[in-house]
Amino acid sequence: MIKPDLTLTVPDELGAVHFVGIGGSGMSGIARLFMDAGHAVTGSDVRESSNVLALRERGATIAIGHDAANLGEPDAVVVTGALWQDNPEYVLARERGIPVLHRAQALAWLVRDQRLVSVAGAHGKTTSTGMIITGLLGLGRDPSFVNGGVIESLGVSSASGTENLFVVEADESDGSFLLYKTSVALITNVDPDHLDHYGSLDAFQDAFVEFAQNASEFVVISSDDPGAVAVTRRLTDKRVITFGEDATADVRVHGVITDGPVSFSVSFEGVDYSATLKIPGRHNAINAAGAFAVLAGLGMPPADSLEAISTFGGTERRFELHGTVGGVSVYDDYAHHPTEVAAALSAARTVVGEGRIIAVHQPHLYSRTKLFAREFAETLEKYADQTIVLGVYGAREDPEPGVTGALVSDRFVDPSHVAYVPDWQEAADYLGSIARDGDFVVTLGCGDVYRIVPQLLESLAKARG
């Protein structure tokens, strides 16, 4: 993986910009905003995708495959931390002295004069960002935004609005969320993650303290998450709005009903407001409360805000239904941390009825798999009826001897509830042999596990017909 220099001074003017890995939800969203601002955009990605096609239709020149010849003559190159050091476009840009910017640096430059709402947290930030955006639009506001996933009702992950208000999902994984000149900070939780970057829990929490302390207007933060509570205690001279189920929360969630789409009430300034979301899961009631707290803090009418938030229909790769074969439904979810897996499968449990939950888990990163193997096993065994564990998706990391998906499967108490099947076709065929009417299949991971879904659907069809 590359380590972009986050201290690099971004040029005052950026003309043509080249995006390496332009097809990702985050990168494509930023590229779209640069095009909206009048910049010439080129890019490359490893494969065709709907994001690539949409950008081409808007006038971007995009090559498939990474090659030095793709670079052209840009004024800046935008990359992600998932890029490898030997990427030929990255190497040539460095050799030619072209500024190489982390995607957060590019976005921070683009929104430098905006009133910025930044959403951070180990989990829930894509959904929470989508809820804030949906709420603002429902209230008749016109913000700009960039989210980590496509918002279902809008069909895009980013857009340029007419107001001086910008909502951004801020990534804490590599510390780049500290680049933003944030006005309003929402912290969904500070659950330990990305310790491969930070080195320690203390350093991880320190970064969130800095992020919150830098917010110029106010901070919205969980009252339930222990890490968030620890961060809150360290804030000084800040307007803080807490949210959650804790009795002390400024926006207190109560009366949660998780039978199907989640219903709940929030108490705020002595008044109760109720809502039913379009999406399942207790965790989404909490996410909605955080979004509500942001809108209330911005001075929006509380009842109207919660009503607008409740129209949020989800984002791509968050408990997303891809098809049903013979009574077996196949969903995909981005969950890649034990807490996220528990939330996703708990949500599935509320709507599966008498069926079973079959998890197809792709471990993400060798370091995370090694660190959390036991927690993943405990979570999957508790919340899923059957689990299929795939091979590790290394992303930015080199393979580590002895670190495979078997680290997770071997830690199940009851081995009859799990199978380690690293070959995707074998995994799909195994699923076809065990699935039955009413089951929910949920692929889990932030790598490329979503690409196995067509194989799963095909194997289910063959086994059942």
Indicate which residues carry an active-site annotation: 125-126, 169
Sign of the C-alpha dihedral, residues 152, 156, 161, 164? Answer: positive
* Rounded Cα gap, residues 29 and 26, in angstroms: 5
Q: For residue 427, what are its two tokens?
A: 């995994």
Let me know: does 341 contact 379? Beta carbons within 8 Å.
Answer: yes
Let me know: does 21 contact 93? Beta carbons within 8 Å.
Answer: no
Return the number of other C-beta atoms located less than 10 Å from residue 280's C-beta. Answer: 23
Q: For residue 53, what are its two tokens?
A: 């096609």
Q: How far apart are the first and last CA of the chain?
A: 45
Half-sphere exposure of 60 (CA within 13 A, CB side): 32
Q: For residue 56, what are its two tokens?
A: 């081409």
> Which single residue is written with the structure tokens 């199940």?
412
The closest of 130, 166, 125, 11 to 78, measured between CA atoms, is 11
The closest of 182, 172, 179 to 218, measured between CA atoms, is 182
Angle at which helices 338-351 and 366-383 cross, to 10°? 30
Classified as helix, coil or strand, 355 is coil
Q: For residue 454, what are its two tokens?
A: 């067509």
- DSSP character at residue 393: B
Helix and strand element counts for the chain (H, E): 15, 21
Cross-strand bridge partners of residue 442:
331, 359
Alpha helices in 102-198 (DSSP H): 103-110, 125-138, 195-198
Classified as helix, coil or strand, 131 is helix
* Rounded Cα gap, residues 439 and 353, in angstroms: 9
Cross-strand bridge partners of residue 320:
332
Long-range residue pairs from 255-260, CB within 8 A, at least 24 positions apart, any chain: 256/282, 256/285, 258/282, 258/346, 258/347, 258/350, 259/350, 260/350, 260/351
CA 183 and chain centroid, separation: 21
Q: For residue 431, what are its two tokens?
A: 């699923």
